């Protein structure tokens, strides 16, 4: 039996892959820029917020790499984990919402919507084809 929404599935998968490649590039950019800013300061001048921003960028990089792997392999468990993390990030952005966090909030909401659609299509594909991807 053929998968009925194959074109939609491929389109959403490509959008997710492009989105997470851009996320990976943005995380690498943030790591480099924030690390250079930290190295320019005198020792002891670094604030906790600056250090946490580098740590956050590294965590964002790891999450985007794991998410990209789940997207490419069409692994519903990794995509579900990615969904939980993007919802958490959107809620965290909503809590600290100010002028500078609107872009990240909107981008997390867009990622969440695409992830929900992609997870639904993975589950629908498994039901239609009868093949279940159990590997992690």
Residue 122 pLDDT class (50, 70, 90 cuts):
very high
- 80 contacts 122 by C-beta, under 8 angstroms: no
Q: What percent of the chain has pLDDT over 70?
A: 87
Question: Tokens at residue 110, please?
Answer: 């867009």
Residue 21 pLDDT class (50, 70, 90 cuts):
very high
Tens-place pLDDT, residues 45-101:
667 777 788 888 888 888 889 889 999 998 889 999 999 999 988 888 788 766 666
pLDDT at 44 over 70: no
Question: Tokens at residue 13, please?
Answer: 């998968």
3-state secondary structure of 99: helix
């Amino acid at each position: 039996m053929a998968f009925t929404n194959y074109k939609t599935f491929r389109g959403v998968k490509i959008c997710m892959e492009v989105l997470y490649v851009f996320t990976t590039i943005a995380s690498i950019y943030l790591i480099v820029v924030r690390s250079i800013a930290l190295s320019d300061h005198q020792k002891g001048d670094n604030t906790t917020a600056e250090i946490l921003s580098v740590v956050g960028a590294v965590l964002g990089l790891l999450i985007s790499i794991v998410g990209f792997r789940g997207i490419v392999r069409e692994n519903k468990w990794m995509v579900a984990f990615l969904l939980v993390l993007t919802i958490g990030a959107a809620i965290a952005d909503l809590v600290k919402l100010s002028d500078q966090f609107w872009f990240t909030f909107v981008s997390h909401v867009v990622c969440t919507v695409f992830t929900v659609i992609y997870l639904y299509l993975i589950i629908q594909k498994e039901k239609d084809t009868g093949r279940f991807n159990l590997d992690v």
